[in-house]
Amino acid sequence: METESKTKSQRSKLWTLFINMLYISTFTFGGGFVIVNFMRKAFVERLGWIDEDEMLDLIALAQSSPGAIAVNASILVGQRVAGFAGMAVSVLGTILPPMIILTIISFFYEAFATNKYVNLMLKGMQAGVAALILDVVFDLTINLSKRQRPVHVFMLAAAFVATFLFNVNVVFIILTAALIGVFLNLWDRKLVLLI
Amino acid sequence: MIYLQLFLSFLIVGLFSIGGGYAAMPIIQSEIVAKHGWLTVEEFSHLVTIAEMTPGPIVVNGATFVGNRIAGIPGAIIATLGSIFPALIIVSLLAYLYYRYKTLDTMNSILSSLRPVVIALIASAGLGILLNLLFGQKAQTIENLNWIGLVLFGAAFFAMRKLKWNPVLVMFLCGGLYLGIHLLLGSV
């Protein structure tokens, strides 16, 4: 009886995961970071399956691995929520919508790409996308400044300047941040030793 | 044979596009356009436009598009599988290491340093989209500012932040309003 309800709850979890990924992937225009924001809203805020720090870690992993950020994040979230089956279901939910949409579009792509109504609609949607991302950034920054050390707030600013103003390669920025983490750790230990 | 080639080509694309999105473009171009000639330069530019206009990662979009044109729907499926195959293995491995060493002191310090950087990357992506909306490819001066876009952005931000509206709903409202306003102004 008990195992039966267990498989049942596992199945409903997989289903929820699949539907959420399908929904997110269908309605997320504008690249990896947009989709990652939607995932955070769904799995951290709404479902509470993953906590905020862990989600940020998963995003960092997704960003620094090869491949699409959305697919990588979907692998990580799926695995975290329901193991191997979760990963399979989650990735399937993520790649199905673009595959179906692109298959349809590849049949009449010129008409689509040059249609001015479609273009205006998509242009306007950018306003919503930008607002969503900056809304999430506000939340994350407020949470971060509450509980992290000042050096981390400084790193946020520095990383922003590096990537936004100077177009520094993202992989380089991430590696630098990781190195700073190692040094901070050594520094903390040395202080402990000295005291 | 063509299936194997598609699989391997997109495996390379998936493997070497680190950093997502636009990092994949030059690799798709060298593998698909230059090496195999599966797309012409013009078709490639259409692909980029379509990928920007539709949901989903550009690598998956590219694999589906190219696969379809070269070998129909089976081609699309095989190319897509090739493009996500390296990620499946590498990401799983990284996840294993992450969960295994997460509690380690040094690992913790590294992760705490990565979190603010991730926020910065997200912020930068968001501002990039906003600037593209406000100015497009034009110089960023006040004459070129897209006022309608700016007002829509402000309203959307307010709706999400203060009124807690559903983001997907807000996005489609923005698209519809933008199109509607232009139709009303007769500037289409």
* A89-144: pLDDT as tens digits: 999 999 999 999 988 887 777 777 678 888 888 888 889 888 988 888 898 898 88
Residues A25 and A95 in one domain: yes
A85 — contact with chain B (CB < 8 Å)?
no
A104 — contact with chain B (CB < 8 Å)?
no
Domain assignment present for residue A130? The answer is no
B61 — contact with chain A (CB < 8 Å)?
yes
Residues A99 and A190 in one domain: no
Residues A152 and A103 in one domain: no
Note the pLDDT of residue B13: 86
The stretch B91-110 carries a mean pLDDT of 86
Domain assignment present for residue A143? The answer is no
Residues A91 and A168 in one domain: no
Domain boundary pick from A57, A77, A107: A107
The stretch B44-68 carries a mean pLDDT of 80
Domain boundary pick from A107, A139, A167: A107
Band the pLDDT of A4: cuts 50, 70, 90.
low
Residue to substitute from A95, A114, A145, interface B, most B β-carbons within 10 A: A95
Domain assignment present for residue A132? The answer is no
Domain assignment present for residue A164? The answer is yes
B118–A64 CB contact, under 8 Å: no
The stretch A76-97 carries a mean pLDDT of 94
Band the pLDDT of B20: cuts 50, 70, 90.
low
Note the pLDDT of residue A105: 83
The stretch B147-161 carries a mean pLDDT of 95
Q: Which two structure tokens, joined as six digits, stand for B39?
A: 């797309």
User: How far does the CA of residue A83 sit from the closest CA of chain B (Å)?
Assistant: 10
Q: Which two structure tokens, joined as six digits, stand for B99?
A: 């969960």
Look at chain A and report how many structural domains it folds into: 2
The stretch A66-77 carries a mean pLDDT of 90
Residue B183 has pLDDT above 90, yes or no: yes
Domain assignment present for residue A9? The answer is yes
Greater confidence, B140 or A20? Answer: A20
Note the pLDDT of residue B28: 80
Residues A97 and A7 in one domain: yes
Query: For residue A53, which amino acid is it?
Result: D
Note the pLDDT of residue B18: 63
Which domain range does residue A24 map to? 2-107
Note the pLDDT of residue A163: 86
Residues A88 and A16 in one domain: yes
Residue A22 has pLDDT above 90, yes or no: yes
User: How far does the CA of residue A1 sit from the closest CA of chain B (Å)?
Assistant: 32
Count of alpha carbons within 13 angstroms of residue B171, beta-carbon side: 19
% of chain B surpassing 70 pLDDT: 94
Please name the residues in contact with A13: beta carbons below 8 A apart, sequence gap of 6 or more: A81, A82, A86
Closest CA to A131 of B53, B52, B165, B137: B165
Residue A98 is nearest to which of B55, B86, B125, comparing CB atoms? B55
Count of alpha carbons within 13 angstroms of residue B97, beta-carbon side: 9
Residue to substitute from A71, A79, A89, A143, interface B, most B β-carbons within 10 A: A71
Residue B125 has pLDDT above 70, yes or no: yes
B176 — contact with chain A (CB < 8 Å)?
yes
Q: Find chain A residues with C-beta within 8 A of B174's C-beta.
A: 124-128, 131
Structure ipTM: 0.75
B95–A122 CB contact, under 8 Å: no
Domain assignment present for residue A127? The answer is no
Note the pLDDT of residue A9: 84
Note the pLDDT of residue B115: 85
The DSSP 8-state label assigned to residue A34 in this structure reads H
Residues A99 and A161 in one domain: no
Distance CA B188, CA A141 (A): 40
User: How far does the CA of residue A17 sit from the closest CA of chain B (Å)?
Assistant: 17
Domain assignment present for residue A139? The answer is no
Residues A90 and A157 in one domain: no
Domain assignment present for residue A97? The answer is yes
Band the pLDDT of B179: cuts 50, 70, 90.
very high
Please name the residues in contact with B145: beta carbons below 8 A apart, sequence gap of 6 or more: B134, B135
Q: What are phi and psi of A50, to 5 degrees?
A: -135, 140
Q: Which two structure tokens, joined as six digits, stand for B23?
A: 């990092």
